[in-house]
Structure 1
Amino acid sequence: MPITYPTPKLVIFDCDGVLVDSETLSNQVLVDNLGRYGLQLSLAECMDLFVGGTMADVRTKAIARGADLPENWVAQVYDETYARLRQGVDLVPGIPDLLALLQVRGIAFCVASNGSEEKMRITLGQNGLWDLFHPHAMFSAQTLKTGKPDPDLFLAAACHFDVQARDCLVIEDSENGALAAARAGMRCLGFDPQGNASRLTRHNAEHITAMSEVPRLIGHIP
């Protein structure tokens, strides 16, 4: 007998690495920046340490590992990251089709990110998605002053759409995001196209490697 999956009333997308393929670009900026302040990391190490965290958390972790960062470091690294992203960032493959399908089926969706609205304006704006999410379907940790792995960002999104946590589906690529979804009592699809999903599945996320898998997992929608 085929598995019957529940159809969500709200799909909550992370931004970086889920809607837009920006994680590698942003983390290379971090590698280069932190190297100037005495912390040498490979790109893989940087992504393993920092993906899914707020920039304030990145600063704390980097200092603990020996980086000599100035007081204005967060603003500095944001400026460097935004400059790189303005050069161009692609959508994650399959996202346009998935968003179109959700619209046709009348399933609400939003973005909830530990990044800033300014960053999302850059990445989503150049790909034609800014107006789709802003201002009523966009939740930023920087704006709301609460970030993953705390569940409050996701719960705020559910409250805004008047949807119970059990009727939400989160799509995440970071351990912090998967943990936040688990703490919020929400089903989570853990997106990792490389297939290395243990950091996500340990928090009960269901591993997916492509966005084309999502329709089948939200009620056998063709």
Structure 2
Amino acid sequence: MREDIKKAIAQAPKGVHADGQLKLVIFDCDGVLVESEHLVGDVLGKEARKHGWNITGPEARALFTGVQLVDIEKEMKKHVTMPLPIHWREHAHDLIVEAMHHDIHPIEGVETILQTLKDLNIPYRIGSNSSHEEMKIKFNTSKLTHWFEKDRTHSGCDMERPKPFPDLYLHAAEQEGVNPEDCIVVEDSDTGLKAAYDAGSVCILLRDLDKPAPDYRGLIRVASLNEATDFIKEVVQSQKK
């Protein structure tokens, strides 16, 4: 285990300590389980350019990752030169959902980490700002549906306050009947990390190690789901001693 991860464990909530007990892993969806953020960036980038905002797909992806359409619409209105239609959010949602039927792929290592959790008897849930309809399509297109039970998939659309507020992750922990500090949350966005950190859970950031990240106390950084799998196995093994 890397030295920076060992140091992070010492500063992280008790769920990953040797004298603690990991009781639940909560996954974000986009960028963690499935690769779809390029799609959202492309769709919204085209919509922005259509209305006079000259933004590229990668720029749109960086700006809108993990952000709900209601907030994206507010940002769009600051930059477009032609007014957005009254029902633009519904229109954008329909465009994104349609694209999801054709261009969604599983993140490398996703089935390995889910099978490992099953083998370790560690339950897992999903906590995403995506709607249930969107997640259903994403999992179907990426052929991951059989891994996820409906009542263990939670949407920020059902929360009064979605991410970056902690409500979604607190709700997932409550539904499992565990304390948030005994949970690991796997995220890729700063928005999701803030939600996980404020919930009091252990935060794993799935992101290239050379890219910047928030300076959260006890943040566990991994570059791949396979590395996250190895980390979880080591944590569970340390708690059996």
Q: Same fold (TM over 0.5)?
A: yes
Q: What is the aligned counterpart of 2:32 among 11, 15, 18?
A: 18
Question: 1:37-56 alignment to 2 at 5 Å?
Answer: 37-56=51-70
CA shift, 1:214, in A, is: 1.1
Alignment of 1:177-216 (within 5 A): 177-193=192-208, 195-198=210-213, 201-204=214-217, 205-216=219-230
Q: 1:108 to 1:118 in 2, by over 3 A?
A: same
156, 162, 173: which one aligns with 1:147: 162
Aligned-residue offset at 1:219: 4.6
- Report the 3-state secondary structure (helix = DSSP H, G, I; strand = E; otherwise coil) of the residue aligned with 1:147: coil
Separation (CA, whole Å) in 1 of partners of 2:189 and 2:69: 14
Letter in 2 for 1:27: G
- Contact 1:154–1:184 (8 Å) recurs in 2: yes
Q: In terms of Rg, which structure is larger?
A: 2
Counterparts of residues 28-107 of structure 1 (less than 5 Å): 28-66=42-80, 68-107=83-122
Aligned residue number for residue 170 of structure 1: 185
| One-letter amino acid of the structure 2 residue matched with residue 106 of structure 1 | N
* Amino acid of the structure 2 residue aligned with 1:20: V
Structure 2: where are the runs of 5+ without partners?
A: 10-15
Q: Offset at 1:167?
A: 0.4
Q: Equivalent residue for 2:134?
A: 119
Task: Please give the alpha-carbon distance, in whole angstroms, between the structure 2 residues aligned to 1:134 and 1:56.
Answer: 28
User: Deviation digits for residues 61-109 of structure 1, max 9, x if unmatched?
Assistant: 2112336222211111111111111113110000000000001111111
Out of 106-115 and 57-66, give the one that drifted further: 57-66
| TM-score, L = length of structure 2 | 0.84
Deviation at 1:178, TM superposition (A): 0.5
In the alignment, the residues of structure 2 paired with residue 131 and residue 155 of structure 1 have an alpha-carbon distance, to the nearest angstrom, of 25
Provide the C-alpha distance between the structure 1 equivalents of 2:57 and 2:209, rounded to a whole number of angstroms: 15
Mark the CA change 1:10 to 1:197 in structure 2 (over 3 Å): closer, same or farther: farther
Which deviates more, 125-134 or 84-93? Answer: 125-134
Aligned to 2:13: none
CA distance in 2, matches of 1:112, 1:71: 29
CA RMSD of aligned residues (A): 2.1
Report the residue type matching 2:35 in the other structure: D
Contact 1:195 1:209 in 2 (8 A): no
Q: Does structure 2 retain, via aligned residues, the 8 Å contact 1:149–1:180?
A: yes
